[in-house]
Structure formats: C-alpha cells, structure tokens
Structure 1
C-alpha cells in the first residue's frame, strides 16, 4: 500500500485552487471582452447592412482573431460611445431638472397666489361683505369682487402675452445669430468652451479675492470710523472744557480787576487818611498848649489799625485771585497741548 503524504496533498490542492482562481479571472476577463465585442458588433451591424454588395466583398473575410491595436480601437470606440451616451443622458437629465424646477417654482407661486386670494376673499367677502343686520353676504360686493378679479386676470394674461411675444422675438434673434455663426464657421468647439470655463473660474476666483479685500477694507474703515468718533468725542469734551476755562478766566480776570480797583481805592483812602492824620497832628502841635488831645490820638490810631487791617485783607484777596488766574492759564495751556 503506497504511503499517503497529507502535506503534499494540501500543497497540490492549494496550487489547484490558485490555478482555478487564475482561470476564473481569465474567464471573467474574456466574458467582459466578449460582451464589449458583442456591443461593438451589434452597433456596427446596421452600418454593415447599409453597405453595398461590392463594398462587402472588398472587406474580405473577417479575421478569426484580433490584434492588440484592433482591440484598442474597439475599446476606444466603445468608450467614446459610452461617453457620448453619458453626456446625452446628462444633458437630458439637466433639462428634466430645469423643467421640474420651473414646475415647482410655478407651483409654489400658484400656491402663494391661491393663499392670497383665499385670504382676500375671506377678508372682503366672508367677513367684509356680511350684512350686520341680517347676517347675510351682500351680493353687490361679491359681484364687484369677482369683476375685479376677472379684470386682474385679464391684465395678467395681456402682460404674459406681451412677455411671451418679447421672448419669442429674442429667441428668433438668438437663433438667427447662431445660424449666422454656423454659416461663418464661428461655432465654439469643446476646447474653446473648456478654455472659457477655465477663464470663468479664474475670474470668479479674482472676484472672490476682491470681495475679501473689500470686506477687509470695510472692517478697517469701521475701526477707523469708530476711532475717529472717539477722538471727536474727546475733542468735543476738551473744547467744552476749554470754553468753561475761558469763561472761568474771564470771570477771574473781572474779579481781579475789581479787586485791583478796590485795592487802589483803599490805597487812595489810606493815603488820604495818612495826610489827614499828618494835618491833624500838625494842627495839634500848633495848639496853645502844644499837646494833642489823647482821645483824638486814640481814635486816629484805631482808624489807622483798621485801615491797615483792611489793606492786608485786600492784598490777600488780590494774591488769591492772581494764583487762581495763573492756575486757569496753566489749565488752558495744557488743554491746547492735548488738543494738538
């Protein structure tokens, strides 16, 4: 009895499974290739049927196998056909989408109009045309409402008719321009259209960049305007303070002038009193006894002290007024420097 090796058996099974998978992949590839060739043959059957008999004879015998370049030509032809079908389907789908979108917009517009009409009917007829005494709807208002609605419909129909005529005229002009371009050979090719799309994207990108720059400039302008308003408010406050300081200075200057006038008056009175005192003293010295009266001397001394005290008070007031004037001048100077 021969020896059975399980390891060799498993290896052989794995090799067979790998070979089977490889064969299955080849079969799948051949099936796809056959399907492709069948589609190509089916599509070209009509062209072959339309050929004349001499042309069929000139074509000769169909080869049993295809070369690589022939296969590539068939694949490229099928790829072009699939691309064309896809583009046609895309165009058809886009047209259908546009049509459905237009229908939806028309439906939404119609729904909104119906809601508006229902609201107006309820407002003007159901509620507004009701007789308060009998509780019934007045026929005159209903008829008038219907006539108004019919006139509005007629006006809308006329407006749409004019718009339709205008659109037809524009369509005829565009079709005439297209026919003229086709006759002149000025039709855009795919490459030109693709180039226009690229340029359009570039322009859109530039527009977006300009919009971003404009937004930044708007933000900067807003910040600048805000800062300018703040500075204007500060300037208004400083001008108000400067006006107040000017008024305060004028008031202090008027007070200073008044104090100076009072001081001059007091000084004149003091000089006058001193002269009077000297004159009285000289008169008393020329008296018969040669001695002044004691009470007169005391009274004059008292008046002299009072006058000297009053002079000191006025001098102190003048000093205070001068200090206040200097302080006000410093504030005005600081306010002017801050405004600059």
Structure 2
C-alpha cells in the first residue's frame, strides 16, 4: 500500500482513476481524484529536492487548465530558463500523456514518449493518474511532484532568488489570509465546478452542479465590478487560477460540459476581466485554443463519442477593447511585464485568437 496526498492507496483503487485524474460514476455526482505526489522543491531542500536552476523539467500540456497555470506563473516570474518546460500534445489515452509534438514523439530532454515513464521512475507501482503538470528531476528522470496547487505557490515563494527583475508578487504575504479562502472557493465552485457539470452522472447531480457554478460566477462577477483584479489593483495567483477556466469557457465548457446558462461573452464583467488578462503579457500568449478544443472533444469520448472537434467559436473577440483600465490599478504593480515569449514556446499560429 502506497501513501499519496496523505491517504493510503490500495491496489484495488487503481482502476477508478483516469489519466486526467478525474472520474465519474453513473448516477452520482462527479468527484475529482485529489491525491497527488506532494513532495516539494524548496530553497532548503528539506525533502531532498532543493531549488536549483536547470535541474527540473516542467511537463505542462497547453490544453490542461491546471498545467496552464504553471506556464503562466513561470512566465510572469521569468523562470523559463530556470525551469525549462516540455509540452505533451493535447490528447492522451487511458495510459499516459505523450510527447506527440516533439520530433520522433520523444521529449528531447527526458528521452521518453510517455509521461508515465517518469512516474514509474518515481514508483514502479505508481497507482494514480498520470497528470500534468508534473515537475521532473532531470538527474534521474523521476517525477518530483504533480501537486499543481502547491507548485505555483512554490514558484512564487521558494524560487524568489531566480525571479526576473520586475517580477510581480503573485502571492503577497499580507493578502494571504483573504486570498487562500478565495482561491479555495474558485477551485471548488468554478475550476472544478465546470467538471462537476460535465461529468455529472445523473440529471439531479447536473442540476445541482449547474446551479452552484453559476452562483459562483455571479458572486465573482459582483466582486470584480469595482476592482480590476480579484485582490485589488494588481494581478495575483488568484487571477491566474480563475483565468484558466474562463479562457476555456466558450470554447469548451459552454457546449461540451453543458454550462450553457450564458457564454462568458454574455457575462459583461467577467468577459471584460478575462479579456484584460488575456491581453496582458504572460496570459494570452500561453493559450492555444486549437489544442484546448482538441483535448476536450477528442479525449472525453464518454461525453463526445464521435470525437468531432467543433470549428467555432470565433476567438477574435479576445483581442477587443475591454475598458477595465477605467478601474485603475496596474497589472504588475511596481514591477514590469515579462519580455517576449521564450524561443520555441510560441503558440502555434492556428491556435491563436487571431487565427
């Protein structure tokens, strides 16, 4: 029996957990498998993994909202050269994410085709989902952690000595008492709320999930009416976490997950807020709409058996004026925007909003 995320996992439990770390039981509400490898990379290296430039490889698929968070935070903080990234293709099978976009289908650094191989390096009997993002130690090719929520907080707090000059403080200490419960609310009600709708196992479960999701979106919309960002005048980790769900809303969740009370583009405050972030360096330049659609519509065959990927929607609206400057504030506070996207990490032309 192994222990992950503070809970013992018996061999008999393995079949419940998919590559994406989620599962749904017919007739029941959706649940997310929230057990992760919780080892941390810290300045002091207490767990055996110390902060070290170039030692770790971030494996983060653009299609995945949880992985997208790490790509945004890494870019905002200027950690691209310090924590190099590998990006699997947008689809995966029941076994593993794979490096379909790389030459020969092999990650050029880890020399593996399946991300699963890095998990098995950590534990030959690894029982849980093969998820992204994953931080891999290039010394032995083994996964260090896939705890996405802690990973980005550690990028902000443990990797400070490697931040670029002018990097924003995404997790300000004086705001954490208010931020932490807000981020938990965003996770349970919105980030996970769309999945609760999409994978509901019954009509009643869906109806409850739908009501919870839109109640939360309305609550957050009210909060953002008078403040430019969730915590006030500057961007924080809370905005990153909300953004990755909002940017997928019309392209995927509205139709695929049946979250169709309103499109994001029909919710004025949230739509303007999301466009403000999208047009901020570090956010929209990590988004590949084509990969996002390919992932959800091709992988979730239980929801979309045909595997047909819709041609729409028109994403050019993401580049339209948002007017949020009228609320004041500065996205990076006393800091500065990140520089150009790192070579080789540019979003493919067919995935951009102006495609």
Q: Please tell me the TM-score bracket, short chain as reference.
A: under 0.3
Which is greater in Rg? 1
The structure with more strand, counted as a fraction of residues: 2
The structure with more helix, counted as a fraction of residues: 1
TM-score normalised by L of structure 1 = 0.16
TM-score normalised by L of structure 2 = 0.15
Greater RCO (Cα-Cα under 8 Å, separation 6 or more)? 2
